[in-house]
Amino acid sequence: MTNENDMAHEVAAETNGETHSGFVALIGPTNAGKSTLVNRLVGAKVSIVSHKVQTTRAIVRGIAIHGNAQIVFMDTPGIFKPRRRLDRAMVTSAWGGAKDADLIMLLIDSERGLRGDAEAILQGLKEVRQPKILLLNKIDRVKREDLLALAAAANEKIAFEQTFMISAENGSGCDDVMDYLAKTLPEGPWYYPEDQISDLPMRQLAAEITREKLFLRLHQELPYSSHVETEKWEERNDGSVRIEQVIYVERDSQKKITLGKGGETIKAISSASRKELAEILEQPVHLFLFVKVRENWGDDPERFREMGLDFPR
Q: Is 139 labelled as part of a ligand binding site?
A: yes
Q: Is 232 labelled as part of a ligand binding site?
A: no
Residue 36: CB partners within 8 Å, gap ≥ 6? 49, 168, 169
Q: Is 152 labelled as part of a ligand binding site?
A: no
| Residue type (1 letter), 303 | R
Angle of helix 117-125 relative to helix 144-157, nearest 10 degrees? 40
Q: Is 59 labelled as part of a ligand binding site?
A: no
The number of beta carbons lying within 10 Å of the beta carbon of residue 262 is 8
CA–CA distance, 101 with 80 (Å, rounded to integer): 20
Q: Is 113 labelled as part of a ligand binding site?
A: no
Q: Is 193 labelled as part of a ligand binding site?
A: no
CB 104 within 8 A of CB 25: yes
Q: Is 79 labelled as part of a ligand binding site?
A: yes
Q: Is 29 labelled as part of a ligand binding site?
A: yes
Q: Is 76 labelled as part of a ligand binding site?
A: yes
Q: Which SS3 state, helix, strand or coil, does residue 128 take?
A: coil
Length of the chain: 313
Residue 274: CB partners within 8 Å, gap ≥ 6? 285, 286, 287
Q: Which SS3 state, helix, strand or coil, does residue 11 take?
A: helix
Q: Is 36 labelled as part of a ligand binding site?
A: no
Residue 4: CB partners within 8 Å, gap ≥ 6? 190, 191, 192, 193
Burial 199-235 (b: 16+ CB within 10 A, else e): ebeeebbbbbbbbbbbbbbbeeebebbbbbbbeeeee
DSSP 187: B
Q: Is 260 labelled as part of a ligand binding site?
A: no
Q: Is 140 labelled as part of a ligand binding site?
A: yes
CA 74 to the chain's CA centroid: 7
Q: Is 35 labelled as part of a ligand binding site?
A: yes
Q: Is 92 labelled as part of a ligand binding site?
A: no
Q: Is 19 labelled as part of a ligand binding site?
A: no
Q: Is 263 labelled as part of a ligand binding site?
A: no
Where does residue 128 rank: exposed (0-12), middle (13-18), buried (19+ CB within 10 A)? middle
Annotated binding site: 28-35, 75-79, 137-140
* Binding-site residues from annotation for GTP: 28-35, 75-79, 137-140
